[in-house]
């Protein structure tokens, strides 16, 4: 069964610095991969998704992710962090008929 | 367009008591999900409905958890009796149906504390 592993439960960066959140997947078939964001006391919201088209995927709020088959990775990046990016980020993989399996999550803190 | 509605937002009960959570999905969304999110962990799927039929309930602790989706619209998740380890946020999500869009629309969640 497909699964994802997020490296680092907590990432802290300075405002304006590069954001890099890591996600590795395990799948015997070409995976469909997603990043979701969860702001405090809110539900999850889709940031971006990879569905076997372009390997570099652009999402909302300036985030992007690159699918690298050779590294089984789908890391999330943003060139310049903003205070409003502080949230929990979840990588997910589609398993079967629209069942999303989530990673453990990475809490992003932005330092002024 | 109205989002996924959940209630109550917060609930505190003692162990062995019962609790019920309600979810109203986005209008027209055929698929409804209940996820359990324990503090510090990612959401875990409890049950998935397609209209009013169950697609996947493999991770639902059926000795204490039950869920229904009458008429294929809103849904109720019940826990009886509750245990301490059931303390979590229960997230309801909906989508337009089978496919690979991967976009689930989540409610704000119902936070359960079991004392």
Q: Could you tell me where the beta strands, DSSP code E, fall in B15-106?
A: 19-24, 31-37, 44-50, 53-56, 65-68, 75-79, 88-95, 105-106
Interfacial residues of B (vs A; Cβ cutoff 8 Å): 4, 31, 40-45, 48, 55-56, 91, 93, 95, 97-104, 106-109
- pLDDT for B4 beyond 90: yes
- Cβ atoms of A43 and B109 within 8 Å: the answer is yes
Beta carbons of A94 and B102 less than 8 Å apart = yes
Beta carbons of B42 and A43 less than 8 Å apart = no
For B82-112, write each residue's pLDDT tens digit. 999 999 999 999 988 655 566 889 999 999 9
Q: How far is CA B58 from CA A105, B6, B34, B44, B48, in A?
A: 22, 23, 12, 11, 10
Handedness of CA A17, A79, A2, B95 (dihedral sign): positive
Q: How many CA atoms lie within 13 A of A47 on its CB side?
A: 28
| A contacts of B103 (beta carbons < 8 Å) | 46, 49
Beta carbons of B43 and A102 less than 8 Å apart = yes
pLDDT in tens, chain A (112 residues): 789 999 999 999 999 999 999 999 998 787 889 999 999 888 899 999 998 778 899 999 999 999 999 999 999 999 999 999 999 999 999 887 678 899 999 999 999 9
- How many Å is the Cα radius of gyration of chain B? 13
Closest partner residue to A43 among B45, B91, B100, by Cβ? B91
For B21-36, write each residue's pLDDT tens digit. 999 999 989 899 999 9
Closest partner residue to B108 among A41, A90, A102, by Cβ? A41
Q: Which of B29, B49, B102, B107 should one mutate to test binding to chain A, selecting the residue with the greatest count of A CBs within 10 A?
A: B102
Beta carbons of A102 and B42 less than 8 Å apart = yes
For B40-85, write each residue's pLDDT tens digit. 889 999 999 988 899 999 999 999 999 999 888 999 999 999 999 9
Q: What pLDDT does B86 receive? A: 97
Q: What pLDDT does B99 receive? A: 59
């Amino acid at each position: 069964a497909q699964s994802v592993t997020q490296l680092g439960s907590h990432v802290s960066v300075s405002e304006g610095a590069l954001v890099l959140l890591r996600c590795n997947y395990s799948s015997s078939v070409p995976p469909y991969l997603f990043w979701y964001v969860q702001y405090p006391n809110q539900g999850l919201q889709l940031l971006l998704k990879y569905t076997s088209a372009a390997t570099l995927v652009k999402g909302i709020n300036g985030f992007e992710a690159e699918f690298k088959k050779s590294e089984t990775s789908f890391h999330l990046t943003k060139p310049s962090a903003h205070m409003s990016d502080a949230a929990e980020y979840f990588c997910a993989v589609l398993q079967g008929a629209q069942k999303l399996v989530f990673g453990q999550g990475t809490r992003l803190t932005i330092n002024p | 367009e109205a989002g996924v509605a959940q209630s109550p937002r917060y609930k505190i009960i003692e162990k062995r008591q019962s609790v019920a959570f309600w979810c109203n999905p986005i209008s027209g969304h055929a698929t409804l999900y209940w996820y359990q999110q324990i503090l510090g962990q990612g959401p875990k799927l409890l049950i998935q409905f397609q209209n009013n039929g169950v697609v996947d309930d493999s991770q639902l602790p059926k000795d204490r958890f039950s869920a229904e989706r009458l008429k294929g619209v809103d849904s109720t998740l019940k826990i009886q009796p509750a245990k301490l380890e059931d303390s979590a946020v229960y997230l309801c999500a909906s989508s337009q149906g089978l496919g690979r869009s991967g976009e689930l629309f989540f409610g704000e969640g119902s936070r359960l504390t079991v004392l």
